[in-house]
Structure 1
Amino acid sequence: MKEREIFLLRRACDARMQAYAPYSNFHVGCAIEATDGRIVLGANVENACYRLGQCAEQVALGAAQQTFGMDSIARIAIVGGPVETAGGGALITPCGGCRQAIAEAQALCGAPIEIICGNADGSACSRHTLPELLPGAFTLTQR
Structure 2
Amino acid sequence: MKEIKIDVAFKVYSSIDELEGKEKDLMLEAVEIRKKAYAPYSKFRVGAAILLESGRIITGSNQENAAYPSGLCAERTAIFYAGANFPNEKILAIAISACSDLKITNGPIPPCGSCRQSMFEYEVKQETPIKLFCMGGVGEVIESDSVGNILPFHFDKSVL
TM-score normalised by length of structure 1: 0.90
Percent identity, please. 35
Residues 50-103 of structure 1 show CA distances to partners (whole Å, capped at 9, x for unaligned) of 2111000010012111332275111100001113655x6221111000000011
Moved over 6 A (4+): none
Question: Equivalent residues in 2 for 1:1-143 (5 A)?
Answer: 1-69=19-87, 72-83=90-101, 85-86=103-104, 89-121=106-138, 124-128=140-144, 129-143=146-160
User: What's the offset of the Cα at 1:119?
Assistant: 1.8
The structure-2 alpha-carbon separation of the partners of 1:48 and 1:84, relative to structure 1 and needing over 3 Å to count, comes to: same
User: What's the offset of the Cα at 1:138?
Assistant: 1.1
AA at the equivalent of 2:140: A
C-alpha separation in 1, matches of 2:147 and 2:88: 15
C-alpha separation in 2, matches of 1:142 and 1:105: 16
| Bigger Rg over Cα | 2
C-alpha separation in 2, matches of 1:127 and 1:70: 25
127-136 or 52-61: bigger deviation: 127-136
The structure-2 alpha-carbon separation of the partners of 1:126 and 1:15, relative to structure 1 and needing over 3 Å to count, comes to: same
Q: Which structure features the higher share of helix residues?
A: 1
C-alpha separation in 2, matches of 1:84 and 1:3: 32
AA at the equivalent of 1:127: E
Q: Which consecutive residues of structure 2, in runs of 5 or more, have no partner in the other structure?
A: 1-18
C-alpha separation in 2, matches of 1:85 and 1:32: 26
Q: CA RMSD in A?
A: 1.7
The structure-2 alpha-carbon separation of the partners of 1:70 and 1:49, relative to structure 1 and needing over 3 Å to count, comes to: farther
Query: How many pairs does the alignment contain?
Result: 141
The structure-2 alpha-carbon separation of the partners of 1:108 and 1:71, relative to structure 1 and needing over 3 Å to count, comes to: farther
The answer to whether the Cα contact below 8 Å between 2:30 and 2:49 also exists between their aligned partners in 1 is yes
TM-score normalised by length of structure 2: 0.81
Q: Which consecutive residues of structure 1, in runs of 5 or more, have no partner in the other structure?
A: none
- Partner-residue secondary structure (3-state), 2:142: strand
